[in-house]
Amino acid sequence: MKLYCLVNSRFPTLLLCLACLGCSSSKGVHFEVTARQKAFLISATGETETGEELLEKWYQKARELCGNKRFIIEPNNKPVVRKSGCGDAVMVDGDLQSCEVSKASVFGKITCDTK
């Protein structure tokens, strides 16, 4: 599990790390969370064909990070959803070429509402 904590003091880092203890607890879903004050970058990847299957888990993680308070999502008030498919890399095995498969993912920035 990767966890990137980009905060200036140790207390918010500790809180974020405690909040992310369950980052890989959802079966088949991997989360990466980057924090800066009350804003979080959340990326969820999984072994699914479409990113829509990860969407509810992404929203659940966003609610956890904001303490079930209202939050604003960037860009365009919704996360970016990508389905699995061929990436740019090509793998060669003997005479066979195949593309490197990029996993389905959901990505977005949330800002927790302080009101």
pTM to 2 decimal places? 0.66
- Residue 78 confidence (pLDDT): 93
Total domain count, the chain: 1
d(CA 45, CA 101): 13
Residues 6 or more apart from 61 whose CB is under 8 A from it? Answer: 23, 31, 33, 42, 44
Question: Which structural domain range is residue 39 located in?
Answer: 4-112
Q: For 21-51, write each residue's pLDDT tens digit.
A: 444 445 588 999 999 887 999 999 988 888 8
d(CA 44, CA 54): 7
Q: What is the dihedral of CA 40, 46, 51, 57, to 10 degrees?
A: -50
